[in-house]
Amino acid sequence: MLRMENSRIIMNSARFGLTIRRLCHQLIEHYDDFSNACLVGVQPRGVWLSDLLHKNLQELGVNNLEHGKLDITFYRDDFRTREKPLKASPTDMPFLVEDKEVILVDDVLYTGRTIQAAMTALNDFGRPRKVALVSMVDRQFNRDLPIQPDFVGMRVDALDKAYVSVEYVQHHGQDQILLFPQKPE
């Protein structure tokens, strides 16, 4: 659990809910009936966001959207250079992405390396027609790779040592986004 005393709330619970609804409406506008689309969350935190989006989309009448969970642990370009072994999360992809429009979901877009690994991992499930990225937070000036979100909750200009945390009521007690001056231990 992150310590709150060094953090600043940059999106409160009320605005968080509005942002989720806005993202859902944008997805509906873009994908219409979702007949050839699927929603894929990147484990673990992108799955938390994709679960929330999926639930809200169902409340808005979207009932035919396939939803998967993708672990990218062994597709990361740094997994062999870590001091401690990484712990993989389960992948749950009960469908192929062959010729589908994949809506890839992660909570914070930072360097772009996680999304690069996710796109590589997606290839194990077929060749998507197109991949779009949904990110709750875009740390827009910290990119190592030329990756941009197609749908974004908020953009944050943060120094390299700063840390952005998206928190969810099911896991942290409330929906909010926090900014820390540096990554908490």
Q: Please report the pLDDT score of residue 183 as a whole number.
A: 81
pLDDT in tens, 69-104: 999 998 987 766 667 777 889 999 999 999 999 999
pLDDT over threshold 90, residue 50: yes
pLDDT in tens, 97-128: 999 999 999 999 999 999 999 999 999 999 99
The first and second tokens of residue 27, run together, are 């997805």
pLDDT over threshold 60, residue 3: no
User: What is the gyration radius of the CA atoms in the chain, in angstroms?
Assistant: 16
pTM for the model stands at 0.92
**Domains in the chain and their CATH numbers?**
13-157 (3.40.50.2020)
The first and second tokens of residue 13, run together, are 């619970």
Q: What dihedral do alpha carbons 34, 35, 38, 39 form, nearest 10°?
A: 20
Distance CA 165, CA 152 (A): 15
Q: Is the Cβ–Cβ distance between 104 and 98 less than 8 Å?
A: no
